[in-house]
Amino acid sequence: MTPRRIVFLDVDGTLVGHDQQVSSAVAAAIAGAKARGHLLFLSTGRSRAEIPTVVTDLGFDGVISAGGGFVEHGGELVARSTMPAEAVEELSRLFGSLHVEYTMQAYEGVFPSEGLLARVTPLFARLGIHLGDEEGEGARMAHELSYRGPAPRDSIAKATFFGEHERTFAQIRDAVGDRFHVITGTIPYLGEAGGEVTLAGINKGSAVVRLVELLGLSMADTVAIGDSVNDLEMFDVVALGIAMGNADAAVKERADEITSSVDEDGVAVAFRVHGLV
């Protein structure tokens, strides 16, 4: 009998592909693992409000969102790691000076910069999502990415930036130094023109450790499945890190093993291999 596991699942590229849908095989695997008593948590770079309902409706035990900025269990926010107001101001000024569009992520939602929608419209078109649509996923995302005024300075955990050249990541990383955690490679088609910024020490891995400690459980029973560079710290702390078949090469190198791709139900395959269902 497989001991109870604590499983952390990334969303984009892991549970859902470009179509933002969960396959029937993956949904069945999640239901089966829950029925066997395993604890299942989402661990995503998205804000809590951005997670598709097709994912949250599967009934997870909790959510790590904003790349480790917020930790939720049983419907309650149990930990938050927001930036000081002056740090939010500093990042806003830096992005502005570099002419870089961005979002600021709070627990309740995302606050886009004024020019973000125009910046990302052609990027999403490459993924088959048309932000000019009058209804459907494109219309929903266009609403979320439209400017709604300045971000609240006292509740931001993460910034995501969308530059126009490959030097953007290095410029931002070098400008903020070791006070912030800056990564790239998380936004399709942007490469080092885009990336994410949290406070130093705040990432999915630190959030996983904090949550497991709060629950009084053991890291020896933890499993994580992901596909992107913001999953690396999570792989570093869990007992078993599984990379998706569609993961970046650097992610596969840091993982303990590799499952099949998101289009081949990689989460369901991993659950079967490890006896979770």
The per-residue pLDDT string of the chain (277 residues; one tens digit each, 9 = 90 and over) reads: 568 999 999 999 999 998 889 999 999 999 999 999 999 999 999 999 889 999 999 999 999 999 999 999 999 999 999 999 999 999 999 999 999 999 999 998 899 999 888 887 877 777 677 776 667 666 777 777 788 888 899 999 999 999 989 999 999 999 999 999 999 988 777 889 999 999 999 999 999 999 999 999 999 999 999 999 999 999 999 999 999 999 989 999 999 999 999 999 999 999 999 999 9
Same domain, 131 and 89: yes
Residue 30 domain flag: yes
187: CATH: 3.30.1240.10
Count of domains for the chain: 2
Same domain, 76 and 213: yes
Residue 1 domain flag: no
Pair 243, 252: CB distance under 8 Å: yes
Residues 6+ apart with CB under 8 A from 78: 62, 71, 72, 211, 214
Q: Specify burial of residue 164 (Cβ count, 10 A radius: 0-12, 13-18, 19+).
A: middle
Q: Which of 168, 199, 230 is the last residue of a domain?
A: 199
Gap between the Cα atoms of 227 and 215, Å rounded:
26
**Domain that includes residue 214, residue range:** 6-80+203-273
Residue 62 domain flag: yes
